[in-house]
Structure 1
Amino acid sequence: MRFFSHIAAILALAIFAAQPAAAQSILRDAETEAFLDDISKPLIEAAGLEPNNVDVILINDPSINAFVAGGQAVYIHSGLIDAADTANEVQGVIAHELGHVTGGHVIRIGEGYQTAANISILSLLAGIGAALAGGGEAAMGIIAAGQQAAMGKFLAFSRTQEASADAAGAEYLSKAGITGKGSLAFFGKLLNQEFRRGISQKDESGFYRTHPLSGDRIAKLSEVYERDPAWDAPLNPKWETNFARVKAKLEGYVADPEATLRDYPESDTSIPALYARAYAYHKDALVERALETTDALIAKAPEDPYFLELKGQVLLESGRPEEAIVPLRKAVDLTRAEPLIASSLGHALIATEDKANFEEAEQVLRAAVGRDRYNPFAWYQLGVVYAARGDMARARLASAEQQVMRRQYPLALRSAQAAEAQLPYGSPDWLRAQDIAMEARALMEQMCEMDRANCDKRRR
């Protein structure tokens, strides 16, 4: 498991006004991404989309949530994985979010804003008219009623979209031959949360909600799922086994070690428990215990690349890069150079400070970014290799790649321009430097426009 400060643009929606996009960090892990791709693929195909064009992205956030923010990407909070008990529950959430993607709901949210804004404007004009006629209190009442009507109209639009996504998600599960039991189970968890927070399930309480009441959703979906031929389909044992693994390693990575050791006590010698404890020990700087636990995992499955990756990570992050190379190199071979694992091997090779390892480091890192450009850490490491051998043009290009991903646009622009000036004219790297410079410049201008708009609002 790796934590990258890679930026996900998250659409923060508010009534009548789009708030500035929030920046949240993405959790990237080769095994977890492979798992999410695997369980999502049949649903994506059922939705009529191309699996290679849809990303399921894990966000480091403890809340139970998932969302789409434009494009073909589904964002899942780490808290949702923690709350789920089965891979089937996660599939129910992904199917629902794919309903938002195919329905174009992020794009169509503007329709809801416009309808609400029209009502709000009309009530404001009517209120002004009443005020001019001398009815001050009546004017305020008209404006307030109009604002409430506008809010109700927008929230009703949002609830309609959610209901549409529920129906689409049920359709995709059915087409994929996947039971909807997990979907209902997860809605049951949401319903329990609402009960604990004292949220009434009466119809009138739904006026100020962006989503339909969970009780209503369960009732409607139960009728659909229980009639579906896939209702009694068994859970996929491979998906469920892999879910238990990724859930455990995620908790070991993000939770306090004390909580992890409580949930996965030493009496539990299962693979998920060993996984979770290995991360917990590593976080607590108990290197030898982390290595002992990792070795216990490898003893159970010597050819498991993710166990080997974990051992390499513990050794590398404990200042023993020479020892980390062997398990990481084997993990790279077993996964056919999976980009995230390859970037760890490149890091280990560079961390030895042995120039004899730099050629291999360059090879694995170039392969890693060739298959996954959105890895700022790999670009940084590749820049280190280029700088060490005196290739400052490509070192600056690598810096520009990772700086634009970190939203350091002025730095990215300068690095790209410096690289462009030194690279062979018309070469692929020269063209890439031009692309990054144009992208950075456009994003800087966009941010300036947003700042000007915010300044204008504050002045008013």
Structure 2
Amino acid sequence: MLRLLPLLLAIGYGLVLWHFSARNMKRQLDNRSRRLRDTGLEPILDRLAAAMGVAEVPVHVYEVDPVNGLAAPDGRVFLTEGFMRLYREGRVSAEELASVIAHELGHVAHGHARRRMIDFTGQNVLRAVLVPLLGRLVPFAGVLLAGLISSALAARLSQRDEYEADAFATALLIKAGLGTGPQISLFHKLDALTGAPGAAAPAWLLTHPKTEARIAAIRERESRWT
């Protein structure tokens, strides 16, 4: 039983930390968000809703500056005020914003928030196993190696989720009659819009896949589906 204690503690720590983080995020979103109301976006959102067979696609605006979209653990979809500012300035089109919304709906549909809780807990367990093992094999670098391995796993799992959300968005945009053009054109702009560091880190350590790889996957799916 004592041998299992570090693993049980790692699992418990991961679960507690995740629930605390999710609760804190919900509080921030509740306090700093509003329902999206925009006459230019409403027809596009209606097309997404019709393609999904639902009455509406509710979207909220998270009042922070970074350019981003997110799917909250409770299933709500948000665009940041930074994204809305680019839209109002004409640097991002309504259709391109729809591709972001469709992507975040993909995260919701695939249950990625719940999956990431499981993944995060598993990473803590892996780290708890690797630290003492590698610490004996490589005394001075064991902790660093354990962290790198755990980070690589986290990046791989996150990239998997992003590809799944991209695929959902592609299917939804095609069904809504918008096509993949807005999705691809936004990806071409994305690094400049978000200040992404490009190739500053190895692909296997990036939480999001490389932009070129995502565009290639979209084109490949479109060729098969249409």
| TM-score between both structures, scaled by the size of structure 2 | 0.76
Are the counterparts in 1 of residues 40 and 94 from structure 2 also a CA contact under 8 Å?
no
**Are positions 1:118 and 2:125 aligned together?**
yes
**C-alpha separation between the residues in 1 aligned to 2:181 and 2:172?**
14
Amino acid at match of 2:202: S
**C-alpha separation between the residues in 2 aligned to 1:171 and 1:148?**
35
Number of aligned residue pairs = 201
Amino acid at match of 1:107: R
Q: Structure 2 matches for 1:3-152, cutoff 5 A?
A: 17-18=17-18, 19=21, 20-21=24-25, 23-24=28-29, 25-28=32-35, 31-32=37-38, 36-47=41-52, 50-52=54-56, 54-84=57-87, 85-127=92-134, 130=136, 138-152=138-152
**C-alpha separation between the residues in 2 aligned to 1:45 and 1:147?**
45
Instruction: Look up the match of 1:188.
Output: 188
| TM-score between both structures, scaled by the size of structure 1 | 0.39
Judged with a 3 Å threshold, the aligned counterparts in structure 2 of structure 1 residues 87 and 226 are, in CA distance, closer, same or farther, namely: farther
Q: What secondary structure sits across from 1:76 in the alignment?
A: strand
Q: What secondary structure sits across from 2:114 in the alignment?
A: helix
Judged with a 3 Å threshold, the aligned counterparts in structure 2 of structure 1 residues 68 and 28 are, in CA distance, closer, same or farther, namely: closer
**Are positions 1:224 and 2:203 aligned together?**
no
Amino acid at match of 2:198: I
Where do 5+ consecutive residues of structure 1 fail to align? 1-13, 230-460
Task: Calculate the aligned-residue CA RMSD, in Å.
Answer: 2.9
Judged with a 3 Å threshold, the aligned counterparts in structure 2 of structure 1 residues 72 and 40 are, in CA distance, closer, same or farther, namely: farther
Are the counterparts in 1 of residues 67 and 193 from structure 2 also a CA contact under 8 Å?
no
Please say which structure displays the higher CA radius of gyration.
Answer: 1
Q: What secondary structure sits across from 1:67 in the alignment?
A: strand
**C-alpha separation between the residues in 2 aligned to 1:66 and 1:158?**
15
Identity fraction in percent: 23
Judged with a 3 Å threshold, the aligned counterparts in structure 2 of structure 1 residues 37 and 96 are, in CA distance, closer, same or farther, namely: same
**C-alpha separation between the residues in 1 aligned to 2:196 and 2:40?**
33
Instruction: Look up the match of 2:199.
Output: 200
Q: Deviations over 1:211-251 (max 9, x none)?
A: 1111211222133346665xxxxxxxxxxxxxxxxxxxxxx
Structure with greater contact order relative to length (CA < 8 Å, sep ≥ 6)? 2
